[in-house]
Amino acid sequence: MVVHVPVLVVGAGPTGLLLASELHRRGIECRVIDAHPAPLYWDRATVVHPRSLEVFESLGIIEPLLAAGVKQRVARLHSGGKVLGQIDLSMCGSRYGFNVGISQEVTESILTEYLYQQGGEVIRSSRLVGLEVHEEGILATIQRNGITEQVSARWMVGCGGIHSTTRELSGIQFTGHDIEEPWAVFDATLVGWPDSYEVIYAYLDEIPVNLTALPERRWRVYLRPSSPGSDLVAEAASTILRYLPKIRFEDVANPTRFHCHTKIAERFRAGRILLAGDAAHACTPFQGHGMNSGIQDAFNLAWKLALVCHGHCTSALLDSYEAERRPVAETITASGDAIEQVQFITDPDQRRTRDETIRADLANPASRLHEAIVEAELNIDYGGSPIVMGDEHDALAPGQRFPDAIEVALANGRVCMLHELTNRAGHTALLIGGFSANGDRLARLDSSIRARHVASIIEATVVLSARSDDQNSYARLTPAAADQLGIGETTLLVIRPDGHVGLRTDSHHIEALAAYHTLLVSGRT
């Protein structure tokens, strides 16, 4: 018997779970398979960045994540027995001015529960072993508990990690290089720890060590061991004791050695097959971008794939997934390689120069702000995407992430954040009148937008005004908020389901909206 589904998702890590959940939420049935017989009891990934926290909030599952993890507000860098400087994440511009320290298996359990709430499930002990590609879809051969079965799907997304069978069977090359120096990790309690538990500590010493906080005052300790048979705890202690001579490691668990890679898939899409997460890109764990980037891959892809499956847009829309996400992969792998080189400088003079450079950078307010934004993964800009359009503006341009820390006053007197008015299941049109806007004209524009047949794309329209005397608006912006968005007389912003600006136009609003609708439906300029 052949099972027929619109989408087959291969891999039930955070990327696959989020993608499948978002497809189910949008009414697209998908089958999720995973080769493991049960969820992993432990996984070494730890940090959830602010941008991913925004994603979790949009799904309605931020509270269990915050309850299960610990906040990491600062990243502090050390070398040579001294503090070089620190990055304060409260500067990043997100309402979540912190990372969350939480082991990946806990994150997966939250996403699995979310998938079940949307009507999905994970079919385990299921290994993809064969793949046939046809014009109208794919036929996957799967081995499950010794039985071979086939699944016919219109689309397949490989989320199975760095050893992705989907990628291998589809013939997509995974290019790059192996990271020569090995990594190791273990969990432990640091007895006598005198400092904050809300800081990530990085030590760029002869044995590089990173300390990442976990719940219950535990730490995940990452290090670069000196040899395959070295004592991991002793080597980590040799670095930490240089700074804190009275601490000691206790209750050590899950000591693991591993190798990392800097690689990117040659393509993120091959016809009806797509790749996401570690199946599409792999990087050093130093910056914590691996799992977080996979989460954002899924968040970017889900709404596009749903529109295509529903028949609202052509399959060309899916080309924008690679156009938007592959440059992000190129950026994080390049920065990861740079960090790897910085970690392993051994020449004393070069180490001093490195440390002086880091110290100077972190003493500069502009550099600290930049580093906070990068750490939070809020620097992602889809301005070069084939499916964003409109007027450029220094304050907010097409392709940029819509800022979330903007308060608005509703007509009923309640104050909320502007992002709460957007519909993350679909696109939201924000029609915003500036200080000189004519309220009646704003109302007529609102009526014209609502009358247009764009329901398959635009699922909500919100009218806002920066004028306190405008009675036609649903909500009012403060003057500071209007300036932050660069509002002229009348501005139309279309916010995509992933929170990025798809369209910005300060004139010819109806014509621009019609052109944007056509662009999404066709998937190309």
Percent of the chain at pLDDT > 90 equals: 77
Contact 458, 520 (CB under 8 A): no
Q: Count other C-beta atoms under 10 Å from residue 349's C-beta.
A: 8
What pLDDT, in 10s, does the model give residues 204-219? 999 999 999 999 999 9
Kindly tell me if the per-residue pLDDT of 16 is higher than 90: yes
Q: How far is Cα 351 from Cα 209, in angstroms, rounded to an integer?
A: 16
Which tokens in the block code for residue 429?
């049109």
pLDDT per residue as tens digits for the range 464-501: 888 766 666 678 888 888 888 999 889 999 999 999 99
| Residue 409 confidence (pLDDT) | 84
* Cα 196 from Cα 73, distance rounded (Å): 10
Which pLDDT tens digit goes with each residue over 134-166? 888 999 999 998 899 999 999 999 999 999 999
**Distance (Å, rounded) from C-alpha 45 to C-alpha 453?**
45
Whole-number pLDDT of residue 50: 96
Lowest mean pLDDT of 66-70, 176-180, 501-505, name the range. Answer: 176-180
**Gap between the Cα atoms of 374 and 147, Å rounded:** 47
Which of the listed CATH numbers 3.50.50.60, 3.40.120.10, 3.40.50.300, 3.40.50.620 matches domain 2-46+103-179+261-343?
A: 3.50.50.60
Confidence tier at 453 by pLDDT (50, 70, 90): low
Cβ(106)–Cβ(44) below 8 Å: no
Q: Are 159 and 13 in contact (CB under 8 A)?
A: yes
Q: Is 483 helix (H, G, I), strand (E, B) or coil?
A: helix
Percent helix, strand, coil in the chain, to 5, is: 35, 30, 35
* CA pair distance 20, 31, nearest whole angstrom: 8
Is residue 63's pLDDT more than 90?
Answer: yes
Q: Alpha-carbon distance 436 to 490, whole Å?
A: 9
Rounded CA gap, 78 and 86, in Å? Answer: 9
Q: What average pLDDT does range 345-366 have in this prediction?
A: 94
Phi-psi region of 176 (alpha: psi -120 to 50; beta: other; left: phi over 0): left
Q: Looking at domain 389-522, what is its CATH homologous superfamily? A: Glutaredoxin (3.40.30.10)
| Per-residue model confidence (pLDDT) at position 327 | 97
pLDDT tens digits, residue range 84-101? 999 999 999 999 999 999
The span from the CA of 417 to the CA of 422, in Å, is 10
pLDDT at 476: 84
Say what the pLDDT of residue 455 is: 60
d(CA 181, CA 326): 26
Identify the pLDDT of residue 460.
Answer: 83
| 525 pLDDT tier (thresholds 50, 70, 90) | low
pLDDT value, residue 454? 58
pTM of the model: 0.95
| C-alpha separations of 351 from 80, 104, 474, 483 in Å | 9, 33, 58, 44
The predicted model gives 448-470 an average pLDDT of 75
CB 486 within 8 A of CB 375: no
Of 311 and 444, the structure prediction assigns the larger pLDDT to: 311
Please determine, for residue 48, whether its predicted confidence score (pLDDT) is greater than 80. yes
Report the pLDDT value the prediction gives residue 83, as an integer from 0 to 100. Answer: 96
Is residue 178 predicted with pLDDT exceeding 90? yes
Q: Which of 269, 258, 87, 262 is nearest to 182 (CA)?
A: 258
Top CATH class of 183-258 equals alpha beta
pLDDT > 90? residue 30 = yes
Give the whole-number percent of the chain exceeding pLDDT 70. 98
| CB-based contact 54:499 (threshold 8 Å) | yes
Give the domain ranges of the chain: 2-46+103-179+261-343, 183-258, 389-522
Q: Sheet holding 82-88: strands in order across?
A: 82-88, 74-79, 199-203, 209-214, 218-223, 183-191, 248-258
